[in-house]
């Protein structure tokens, strides 16, 4: 089938196009801020810098944080808020973003953000009712302290940045909650890596979690997930331009963007489904290329494009830092084991699966829902798009979250809007 000339040349799929097929090559669903793409050489890092426009970010200097594996680090978190904290502080919701996400879940005008169809006035997470906080995670590269940040000696942390765990990330967010005057979250919600943080929040600070919403995530990383993250990390570390993690001095075009891009390609395969890839691309060659003469298939071009986009907006060291925290994620570590900790998490819980997910399998999500004492029956998003369905199937996610948040038996004191 020949491509329709009326479609933009950057599309790698062929008609008929679904809205997701049309959008996916040019928009990352897991990030709110999108730097303009160009064919200029990629920077050594796509990290946000102090000289960059802040967008709608706010910043909190939270001081020194003791780390689980030893040592301390001075923490600044970038974060964004929507809505108004009620006088008694009872209407606060914490959102936890995905691996390569950021604080920009939505914008003030609601026109962009990684969950802008979910968060906002009158939406599932209604900001006329709730005070919503979304921080960029510790170790990230979109305004929070991370490897690309400046260390006390005036140079980027780079290879000297300490290994951190998801517990450290939650501890930093606890400091942010204290700063904002939030003593208890009405809800802590997140998906994928963000959902892992939700589980750690519940284990580390159960009295601060009025309820939790865990979308396609788990209480501990599985062997398969460790294998996925290990190969992604190795792709970055084996890039000669990575230079052991010290590459911030390199000129545009000379950074570890090949390794970071390959890590993204490996990850992206796990984020989508075989059905989508088959229906969308099949064995179709990329337009103008012959796979038997060194050219690519359309699916190869699609992955290359996602690799390029991530390298333009993310940092290789941050990817390693966050990925390693996923590898070591286990809420039962040092607490008597994962099942014992899960069994003691009695707060109301919403657990959501995606039926085509091959990263967090529906059976594992069902087991989590069964093991959490306060969990409602498992809710399932039906999607052809795999793990990323939590970011794509907004109508279904809206209905699931609205049912949970509008249940007066769960949130009786917050059933009315903030005046």
Question: Choosing from 86, 103, 144, 192, which is the catalytic residue?
Answer: 192
Would you mind telling me the total number of residues written for the chain in this entry?
A: 419
Q: How high is the pLDDT of residue 415? A: 44
Q: Of 133, 201, 134, which is closest to residue 168 (Cα–Cα)?
A: 201
* Helix H or strand E encompassing 365: helix 362-371
Question: What is the b/e burial string over 219-249, where b = at least 16 CB atoms within 10 angstroms of the residue's CB?
Answer: bbbeeebeebbeebbebbeebebbbebbbbe
Q: How high is the pLDDT of residue 39? A: 55
Helices (H), 189-346: 193-204, 223-237, 257-271, 274-280, 298-313, 316-327, 338-343
Q: How high is the pLDDT of residue 33? A: 59
Distance of alpha carbon 50 from the chain centroid: 22
Give, for all 419 residues of the chain, the pLDDT tens digit: 343 444 333 333 333 334 433 334 334 556 555 665 555 789 999 999 999 999 999 999 999 999 999 999 999 999 999 999 999 999 999 999 999 999 999 999 999 999 999 999 999 999 999 999 999 999 999 999 999 999 999 999 999 999 999 999 999 999 999 999 999 999 999 999 999 999 999 999 999 999 999 999 999 999 999 999 999 999 999 999 999 999 999 999 999 999 999 999 999 999 999 999 998 889 999 888 899 999 989 899 889 888 988 999 999 999 999 999 999 999 999 999 999 999 999 999 999 999 999 999 999 999 999 999 999 999 999 999 999 999 999 999 999 999 999 999 999 755 444 44
Vertex 142, ends 187 and 305: CA angle to 5°?
A: 105
Give every strand in the sheet of 92-96, ordered side by side: 58-66, 72-82, 131-135, 92-96, 187-191, 212-215, 349-354, 379-381
Question: Choosing from 126, 168, 315, 357, which is the catalytic residue?
Answer: 357
**Residue 387 annotated as catalytic:** yes
* pTM summary value: 0.91
Q: Of 280, 272, 273, which is closest to residue 17 (Cα–Cα)?
A: 280
Q: Are strands 131-135 and 72-82 parallel, antiparallel or unpaired?
A: antiparallel
d(CA 225, CA 360): 8
Report whether 50 belongs to an annotated binding site: no
Three-state DSSP class for 336? coil
**Numbered ranges of CATH 3.40.50.1820 in the chain:** 58-221+330-406
Report whether 296 belongs to an annotated binding site: no
- List all residues 6 or more positions away from 95 whose beta carbon is below 8 Å from its beta carbon: 105, 115, 119, 125, 132, 133, 134, 189, 190, 194
Q: Please give the CATH number for the structural domain made up of 225-323.
A: 1.10.1740.110
d(CA 4, CA 406): 45
Q: How high is the pLDDT of residue 11? A: 35
d(CA 167, CA 200): 6
Q: How high is the pLDDT of residue 32? A: 56
**Residue 192 annotated as catalytic:** yes
The conformation of residue 381, written as its DSSP 8-state character, comes to E
* Helix H or strand E encompassing 214: strand 212-215
Kindly report the backbone phi and psi dihedral angles of residue 189, in degrees, each rounded to the nearest multiple of 5, phi listed first: -130, 145
Calculate the CA dihedral of residues 109, 29, 385, 134 and round it to 10 degrees: -80
- What secondary structure does DSSP assign to 227-258, as a single string? HHHHHHHHHHHTSGGGGGG--TTSPTT-SSHH
The conformation of residue 125, written as its DSSP 8-state character, comes to E
Q: Of 244, 304, 238, which is closest to residue 269 (Cα–Cα)?
A: 304
**Residue 357 annotated as catalytic:** yes
Helices (H), 83-185: 166-180
- What secondary structure does DSSP assign to 32-78, as a single string? S--PPP-SSPPPS-----TTS--TT-EEEEEEEEE-TTS-EEEEEEE
d(CA 123, CA 3): 37
Question: What is the b/e burial string over 321-360, where b = at least 16 CB atoms within 10 angstroms of the residue's CB?
Answer: bbbbbbbbbbbebeeeebeebbeebebbbbbbbbebbbbb
- List all residues 6 or more positions away from 188 whose beta carbon is below 8 Å from its beta carbon: 93, 94, 96, 198, 201, 202, 209, 211, 212, 213
**Numbered ranges of CATH 1.10.1740.110 in the chain:** 225-323
Q: Determine contact, residues 92/81, Cβ cutoff 8 Å.
A: no
Q: Determine contact, residues 179/84, Cβ cutoff 8 Å.
A: no
Q: Please give the CATH number for the structural domain made up of 58-221+330-406.
A: 3.40.50.1820
């Amino acid at each position: 089938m020949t491509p329709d000339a009326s479609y933009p040349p950057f599309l790698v799929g062929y008609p008929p196009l679904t809205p997701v097929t049309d959008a996916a090559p040019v928009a990352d669903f897991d990030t709110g801020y999108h730097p303009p793409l160009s064919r200029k050489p990629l920077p050594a890092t796509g990290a946000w810098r102090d000289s960059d426009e802040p967008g709608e970010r706010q910043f909190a200097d939270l001081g020194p944080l003791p780390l689980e594996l030893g040592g301390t680090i001075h923490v600044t978190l970038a974060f964004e808020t929507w809505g108004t904290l009620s006088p008694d502080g009872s209407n606060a919701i914490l959102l936890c973003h995905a691996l390569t996400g950021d604080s920009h879940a939505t914008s003030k005008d609601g026109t962009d953000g990684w969950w802008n169809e979910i968060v906002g006035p009158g939406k599932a997470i209604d900001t006329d009712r709730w005070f919503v906080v979304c921080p960029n995670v510790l170790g990230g590269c979109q305004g929070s302290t991370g490897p690309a940040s400046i260390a006390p000696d005036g140079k980027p942390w780079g290879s000297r940045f300490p290994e951190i765990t998801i517990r450290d990330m939650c501890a930093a967010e606890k400091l942010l909650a204290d700063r904002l005057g939030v003593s208890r979250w009405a809800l802590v919600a997140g998906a994928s890596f963000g959902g892992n943080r939700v589980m750690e929040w519940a284990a580390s600070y159960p009295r601060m979690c009025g309820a939790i919403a865990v979308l396609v995530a788990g209480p501990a990383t599985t062997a398969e997930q460790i294998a996925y993250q290990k190969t992604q990390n190795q792709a970055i570390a084996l890039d000669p331009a990575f230079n052991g993690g010290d590459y911030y001095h390199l000129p545009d075009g000379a950074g570890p963007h090949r390794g970071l891009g390959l890590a993204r390609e490996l990850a992206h395969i796990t984020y989508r489904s075989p059905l989508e890839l088959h229906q969308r691309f099949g064995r179709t060659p990329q337009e103008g290329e012959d796979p038997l003469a060194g050219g690519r298939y359309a699916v190869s071009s699609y992955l290359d494009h996602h690799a390029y986009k991530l390298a333009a907006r993310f940092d290789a060291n941050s990817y390693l830092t966050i990925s390693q925290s996923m590898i070591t994620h286990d809420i039962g570590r040092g607490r008597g084991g994962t099942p014992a900790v899960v069994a003691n998490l009695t707060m109301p819980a919403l657990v959501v699966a995606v039926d085509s997910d091959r990263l967090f399998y529906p059976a594992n999500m069902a087991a989590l829902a069964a093991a959490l004492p306060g969990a409602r029956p498992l809710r399932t998003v039906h999607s052809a798009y795999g793990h990323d369905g939590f970011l794509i199937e907004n109508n279904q996610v809206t209905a699931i979250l609205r049912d949970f948040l509008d249940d007066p038996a769960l949130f009786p004191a917050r059933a009315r809007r903030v005046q």
